[in-house]
Amino acid sequence: MGTLEEVEVSCPYCGEAIEVLIDASEPEQKYIEDCQVCCRPIVFRVAMTPTGAPEVGVYSEDDVI
């Protein structure tokens, strides 16, 4: 099992700050997780930086990524 890192992001719908766990063992990821506040689906794009820190982008389903 990979290393999990806690990251704070803002929901693209309601703007609330939420904390999510990122699996740092995968170099690139794209997945959907519901907002813990408004329950709308957030698209996550995760890439690991050369130093091993997760770089997380969050988008609404309507955003083109």
Q: Which amino acid is at 49?
A: T
Q: What is the chain's pLDDT, residue by residue, as a tens digit (65 residues)?
A: 468 999 999 999 999 999 999 988 888 999 999 999 999 999 999 999 998 889 999 999 888 66
Q: Which contacts of 16-24 are long-range, i.e. CB under 8 A and separated by 24 or more positions?
A: 20/44, 20/56, 22/46, 22/54, 22/56, 24/48, 24/52, 24/54
Could you tell me the pTM of the whole model? 0.85
Show me where the domains of the chain are located. Answer: 4-59
Contact 27, 44 (CB under 8 A): no
